[in-house]
Amino acid sequence: MTIDELRAKAAERQQTCGQIKKMIVSRLDLEVEPDWITDDQPLFGRGLELDSLDVLELYVAIEAEFGVALYDSDMAVFGSISRLADEVNPRLRVTA
Amino acid sequence: MTTPLAHTHPGDTVYGQVGDATVPLRFTDLSAEYKVLRERAVALDLGGHTLIEISGPAAVDFAQQVLARDVEYLTSERCMMSLVLDDDGRVVDQVLAFGREDGLLLESSVGAGTRLLEHLRALDIEDVEIVDRSADLTVIGLEGPYAWGVVGRLIDGELASLPFEAVSDTVWNDVEIIFARTGFTGEYGYQMIVPVESAADLWEATLEHVTPSGQEALELAMLEVRQPIPRLETTGDVNVIEIGANWLVDVTKDEFVGKEAVLAAFESRQGRRTVGFSGGDTVPEPGARVLAGGEDIGEVVFAVRSVGLGTTLGLARVEAGLAAAGLELTVEGAGVTTLTSPYIVPKSWSIPII
């Protein structure tokens, strides 16, 4: 890939991550700017310190915002913003 | 400084100098220790972490100034991970802050105690006493998907299910210890702060249930869940935003050392960002160039051979517009792929405490 193609690919992921951050900040009424949350930031326990009630709220919010149902997903989906982006925008998905 | 438990470790333990501390890097071999950490549970000699007591009438106000997260209401039943920054927003250390009745207890990252103490003492605040407790207290850790079971057999099953970052002053074998649910690796994690004179007894009792793991396996597992490793990630002229450790800073807090610099770095939208990568047969050195489409976009922060992934795993600091997962880049001629975090999903995420 050329560097411009790589930048475009990166921009698509960053845009999806940005949408997720805005959704989380809005739905959970967080005090931080969405961009303060990093793509790799842990969401539960460490990091954003969300709890199980927040997860339920996010399930509803993700389906409303992205049309993706995550009800049967395991907790790994919420491992980071970027991991969540893989779920709501499957074009982004990569394997480790 | 050597860990107070060094005399109890086997003669063939491999040690290494990390900052101001000489710590066990491995007791057997990295691969075996790592697998036990990720599959069952390990004991960790965290004697390279310096414990610093902050007390006196102005202790909490001082801690509020020094720590980048809000500790005003940190009770003696809670602990919290936070960065400590200098005026320029550079990372001095990443600490665990324990609320105490008469102030706080700060636990440095491995080998960073001297630097942290110098920083705290240089702030020269009245009505605050800063005491290095390393001579009389040390830390033993437990990590792994079944670490909770070890807690039950070793002390009390109820302690195993404490909420994350909860603290309990408890008694083991007539010795008062500070017990905390913590964790660096995404697995269930616990820490026991114990008087040095009783540490060997507690360590030996712990080893009746689990095997020990050294610093190498611990740091590999930390990297896999993107838990910052200050000694490897904060070298050079980098700020919090470039490291990606925003979550260890509370910018909604009124004031703390380094806040203005961190906000300036954030608002400038300039600089590089950190992203994980895997791939390649060799492990590149820190500073190795990272190329995208043949163009130089940044450098390797550090890399290791990942036991879990079976390939090289590392962090790269690259221009912000290319700090994203799923990109094919080149490091020292080898193709690598940038990753979403966590790079390994901890087994603990699918195992309940019972």
Residues 17-46 of A with CB under 8 A from B: 31-32, 35-42, 45-46
Q: Which domains can be identified in chain A, with CATH numbers?
A: 3-90 (1.10.1200.10)
Cis omega (within 30 of 0) for bond into B212: no
| Nearest-CB residue to A6 (from B244, B322, B343) | B322
Q: Chain B residues with CB inside 8 Å of A94's CB? A: 325-326, 337-340
Q: Hey, are the CB atoms on B340 and A94 less than 8 Å from each other?
A: yes
pLDDT for position B270: 86
Average pLDDT over residues B61-69: 97
Alpha-carbon gap, residue A70 to A87, rounded angstroms: 8
Alpha-carbon gap, residue B345 to A95, rounded angstroms: 12
What is the four-CA torsion angle of B149, A53, B73, A24, rounded to 10 degrees? Answer: 120
| B22-54: b (≥16 Cβ within 10 Å) or e | bbbbbbbebeebbebbbebbbbbbbbbbbbbbb
Q: Quick check: A64 contacting B, CB < 8 Å?
A: no
Evaluate whether B94 touches B109 at the Cβ level (below 8 Å).
yes
| Nearest-CB residue to B321 (from A11, A31, A82) | A11
pLDDT tens, residue by residue, A41-91: 888 777 777 777 888 888 889 999 999 988 766 678 889 999 999 999 988
- What was the ipTM of the complex prediction? 0.92
The yes-or-no verdict on residue B110 having pLDDT over 90 is yes
Q: Which domains can be identified in chain B, with CATH numbers?
A: 6-224 (3.30.1360.120), 230-338 (2.40.30.110)
Q: Chain A residues with CB inside 8 Å of B342's CB? A: 42, 76, 79-80, 83
Q: How far is CA B126 from the centre of its chain?
A: 30
Q: Hey, are the CB atoms on A38 and B244 less than 8 Å from each other?
A: yes
Alpha-carbon gap, residue B300 to B135, rounded angstroms: 37
Min Cα separation B72/chain A (Å): 18
Q: Hey, are the CB atoms on A10 and B344 less than 8 Å from each other?
A: no
pLDDT for position B169: 98
pLDDT tens, residue by residue, B179-194: 999 999 999 999 999 9
